[in-house]
Amino acid sequence: MPSPLFLFGKKESKGARKFVSGDSIFKKLTLISALFILVLALLIFYELYSRSQLSISKFGLGFLTGVEWDPVHQVFGALPFIYGTVTSSIIALIIAVPISLGIAIYLSELAPRRFRSPLSFMVELLAAVPSVVYGLWGLFVMVPWIRDYLQPFLESTLGFLPLFQGPKFGIGMLAGGIILAIMIIPTISAVSREVMLAVPDTQREAAFALGATRWETIRFAVLKYARTGIFGAILLGLGRALGETMAVIMVIGNRPQISLSLFEPAYTMSGVIASEYIEATQEIYLSALIEIGLLLFIITLIMNVLARLLVWRMMRMFRGAKE
């Protein structure tokens, strides 16, 4: 690795002529592009922070614990939205992780070779469907199904839990969680599949050589080896679930409340911003909405950084193993 100063051509006074033209200019241009992303993220953070000052100074930490959201009387608390975002994402993970891992294991280990490409393609195609389409499908197909079949079933079997009591509208936290699960399955399964394919074949061969069954090979040679990467994939899915807006707005019921029941309506952070931002004319109201944006930015940033770090660590491990 040359020193970073190389990029600015400072140490290259001798013999640098052959680099002067295309290469060094191109390198600088790409460096600027890379820095641009960093600057952009910092500017977004700064802008969100400075524009939520009014709300931060008025409500302080009480903003995080307040449960009231009343634009008419200008009382703003973010807890119901944080609760809605986190809970719907957790429901989504509970549903999506087992299914996604099943898809990934099948595609990387078990599926006949000629099915692998078309099936992987289908999974990636699902990731490209716009979220508002999922929302429409959710509202017109999934919600009536939840109302007429899933909720009565859950109530009759698990109704002793407070989670599955309450009004049976179809719309609510459960619907929000399920639609998110459907939306993050492609992300989690595609990344997990890549990670499993990256496990060196020597691992599998070693396991087979020791007399392991197929299941044992997958469990000890593949899953154990790939676990950090899979965890990263799950966090990527979680990141998408936390930020998803349109599809959730359409099925979650948009009611800022904290209720144990999954049948009750709830509200998410991105949902309230998208819904109320346009017509928020008072300054403190706008500032409170921007502060919710700031909180969401921080939460998703942490999740994504964590996910990236895990995936990178895993990749480095493989490189070490192969050499």
Partner 1 sequence: MPERGTMQSKSGISKTMAVLAIFIIVIGTVATYYILNPKTTITLNGAGATFPEPLIKKWTSEYNKMNPSVVINYQGVGSGGGIQQIKEKVVDFAGTDAPVKDEEMTTGYLVHIPETMGAVVVAYNIPGLTGSLKLDGDTIAKIFLGNITKWNNERLVALNPELSLPDQNIFVAHRSDGSGTTYIFTDYLSAVSQEWADKVGKGKSVNWPVGVGAQGNPGVAGLVSQNPYSIGYMEIAYASLNNISYAWIKNEFSGEFIEPTLESVSKAAEGFLDQMQEDVRISIVNSPDPEAYPIASFTYILLHQELNVYGEKMNFEKSRALLNFIWWAVHEGQSYSEALLYPRLPPEVIVICEELLRSITYNGQPIITS
For partner 1, the binding residues (CB under 8 A) are: 68-73, 139-140, 143-144, 147, 167, 169-172, 249-250, 253-256, 265, 267, 271, 274-281
- Min. distance of Cβ 272 from partner 1 in angstroms? 8
**Alpha carbon distance 67, 207 (integer Å):** 54
Q: Between residues 186 and 256, which has the closer beta carbon with respect to partner 1? A: 256
- Min. distance of Cβ 285 from partner 1 in angstroms? 8
Q: Between residues 87 and 120, which has the closer beta carbon with respect to partner 1? A: 87
Q: Between residues 237 and 256, which has the closer beta carbon with respect to partner 1? A: 256
- Min. distance of Cβ 295 from partner 1 in angstroms? 19
Q: Between residues 139 and 188, which has the closer beta carbon with respect to partner 1? A: 139
**Alpha carbon distance 203, 5 (integer Å):** 42
Sign of torsion over alpha carbons 279, 284, 286, 288: negative
- Min. distance of Cβ 168 from partner 1 in angstroms? 10
User: What does DSSP assign to residue 266?
Assistant: B
- Min. distance of Cβ 66 from partner 1 in angstroms? 12
- Min. distance of Cβ 229 from partner 1 in angstroms? 37
Q: Which of 160, 141, 158 is nearest to 251 (CA)?
A: 141
Q: What b/e readout covers 211-220, taking b as 16+ CB neighbours within 10 angstroms? A: ebeeeebbee
Q: What b/e readout covers 130-149, taking b as 16+ CB neighbours within 10 angstroms? A: ebeebbebbbeebbeebbee
Q: Between residues 107 and 249, which has the closer beta carbon with respect to partner 1? A: 249
Identify any residues that bridge with 115 across adjacent strands, giving them in sequence order.
none
Element spanning 89, H or E: helix 79-105
- Min. distance of Cβ 92 from partner 1 in angstroms? 20
Phi, psi torsion values for 160, nearest 5 degrees: -70, -20
Q: Between residues 177 and 256, which has the closer beta carbon with respect to partner 1? A: 256
Angle between helix axes 283-322 and 224-243 (nearest 10 degrees) is: 160
Q: Between residues 131 and 187, which has the closer beta carbon with respect to partner 1? A: 131
Q: Between residues 52 and 189, which has the closer beta carbon with respect to partner 1? A: 52
- Min. distance of Cβ 109 from partner 1 in angstroms? 42
**Alpha carbon distance 305, 300 (integer Å):** 8
- For residue 60, the tally of other CB atoms under 10 A from its CB is 9
